Structure 1
Amino acid sequence: MEFGAGRLILHRNVRRGRIGWVRPARVVLDDERGLLLWIAKGSPVAHEVNEVGLTMRGLPFADWITPTYQLAQVRWNGPPLLKFLPTGAAHSVWWFRDAAGRFSHWYVNLEEPGVRWDDGVVAGVDVIDQDLDVLVAADRTWQWKDEDEFVERLAFPAEYWVTDEKAVRAEGERVIALAEAGEFPFDGTWCDFTPPAEWDVPDELPPGWDRPPVR
């Protein structure tokens, strides 16, 4: 399944069969290397909250796993993002920008390889975010991110969606080695990407954004 350049699709995170978050993204390219997506600042997004409106990061995991869940629709208040999902890889790489729109750093999101779906009118890719991440600075120095949260959640195997801690860390170490060596995609590729002017920000999530996950 290949997505055409410029198509608006949905990048979704799945947690134990539930949708964790949804972000609309434009396809920059889709080839044998992987899928490159652009998420505009101010895009309509949805994320999972508990019954009092808190996100998973807003309270201890032991408290998060007990309430009922719902999806809240808001606007993406982060910077515009370029996201690359390498074919078959258990991670994605995100290009972050500063307030002036200049490349700032890479963000390695460790995740299970995405599964694509296409309903015709709406399409997307579903991943399972494994929570542990790696920040890679422009000079290719790096640090682990969210390690405390990762370790905390591993203590709840019946509720957590990560089943192999060693595999997640090994994938992170593999990507770190690429970054240290300045190999693709940490070789400057796409650091100066500018989206086409006609790529507007969607007014709302398209119908079907909350269809059942394929993961």
Structure 2
Amino acid sequence: MRFEPGRLVVHRNVRRGRIGWVRPARVVSDDDRGLLIWIARDTPVASEVHADGRGMRTMPFAEWITSPSYRSAHARWSGPPLLKFLPTGAAHSVWWFSDEQGRFANWYVNLEEPGVRWDDGHLAGVDVVDQDLDVVVRPDRSWQWKDEEEFAERLAFPEHYWVADEAAVRAEGKRAIALAEAGEFPFDGTWCDFRPPPEWAAPPALPPGWDRPPVR
């Protein structure tokens, strides 16, 4: 399954059959290397929150997993425009962050289960399982792990956590780190100067079907 450049798709994180977050994006390219998507500033997004409005990262995981109810909170992407690359078959994606002037700031390796695509005709998307541990790679290709404490906290609840193999997650991170240290694709400068077509403005609202049942 390939997506046409320019098509609006939704990138969704799935946690045990529930949608953790959803972000509409435009397809930049989709080829043998993988799927490249663009999220504009102010794009409408949604994320799962506790019934009282708190997000999963603002409360102890032990409390989150015992909550009797959750809901979707709608907002706008408040960060800078974001480029995301999902390499074919890889258990991670690579994100390009920029500063307020639109200049490349850093790469971000988001460790996740390989995306599963779907296409309903009127809307398509890719569902991943975010594995929480990440790697920040600076322009000089130095790096650091991110969210290690959060990762460790959740691993203490294996019956509720969606990550089953800590070693596999870290090994995937180390594979991406090795590419970054060597300056190999996609850490070779590719897409660091990307600029979207001017007509790729943020959509006015989440597209109908964004909350369809996950495929994972």
The residue type equivalent to 1:77 in the other structure is S
1:166 and 2:167 are equivalent in the alignment: yes
Give CA-to-partner distance per residue, 1:7-44, whole Å, 9 cap, x none.
00000000011000000000000000000000001000
Unaligned ranges ≥5, structure 1: none
Give CA-to-partner distance per residue, 1:163-205, whole Å, 9 cap, x none.
0000000000010000000000000000000000111210000
Give TM-score, length-normalised by structure 1: 0.99
Partner of 1:49: 49
Equivalent position SS for 2:209? coil
Equivalent position SS for 2:75? strand
The residue type equivalent to 1:56 in the other structure is M
How far apart, CA to CA, are the structure 2 residues paired with 1:142 and 1:180?
9
Partner of 2:83: 82
How far apart, CA to CA, are the structure 1 residues paired with 2:109 and 2:8?
23
Equivalent position SS for 2:149? helix
Partner of 1:113: 114
Partner of 2:204: 203
Give CA-to-partner distance per residue, 1:51-107, whole Å, 9 cap, x none.
100111001101111111111111111111000000000000000001111000000
How far apart, CA to CA, are the structure 1 residues paired with 2:114 and 2:206?
23
How far apart, CA to CA, are the structure 2 residues paired with 1:174 and 1:201?
34
Partner of 1:146: 147
Partner of 1:73: 74
The offset of 1:111, in angstroms, is 0.1
Partner of 2:176: 175
Moved over 4 A (4+): none
Partner of 1:17: 17
Alignment of 1:184-199 (within 5 A): 184-199=185-200
How far apart, CA to CA, are the structure 2 residues paired with 1:56 and 1:101?
30
1:8 and 2:5 are equivalent in the alignment: no
